[in-house]
Amino acid sequence: MAGLIFFLSACNSDRPEPAEVDMAASGIRVSITRTATHPVLARYRLALRVEGAKGCMGTAELFPDTGYAGRRNLYDQGSGVILVLGQYDARLVDTHNCTVRLVEFQSLAGQATFLGSFDVDGQKRWRYLPAAERPERPFEKH
**Which residues, including other chains, have CB under 8 Å from residue 52's CB and lie 6 or more apart?**
27, 28, 95, 96, 97, 98
- Asked if residue 140 belongs to a domain, the reply is no
The structural domain count of the chain equals: 1
Q: Is residue 59 one of the residues assigned to a domain?
A: yes
Q: Is residue 2 situated within a structural domain?
A: no
Any domain includes 106: yes
Computed over every residue of the chain, the mean pLDDT equals: 89
pLDDT 10s digits, 16-61: 999 999 998 889 999 999 999 999 998 999 999 999 988 999 999 9
- Whole-model pTM: value is 0.87
Domain of residue 19: give its range.
13-130
Give, as one character, the DSSP assignment of residue 132: T
Residue 137 in any domain: the answer is no
Q: Tell me if 96 is assigned to some domain.
A: yes
The answer to whether position 81 is within a domain reads yes
Domain assignment present for residue 8? The answer is: no
Give the Cα separation of 90 and 97 in Å (integer). 18
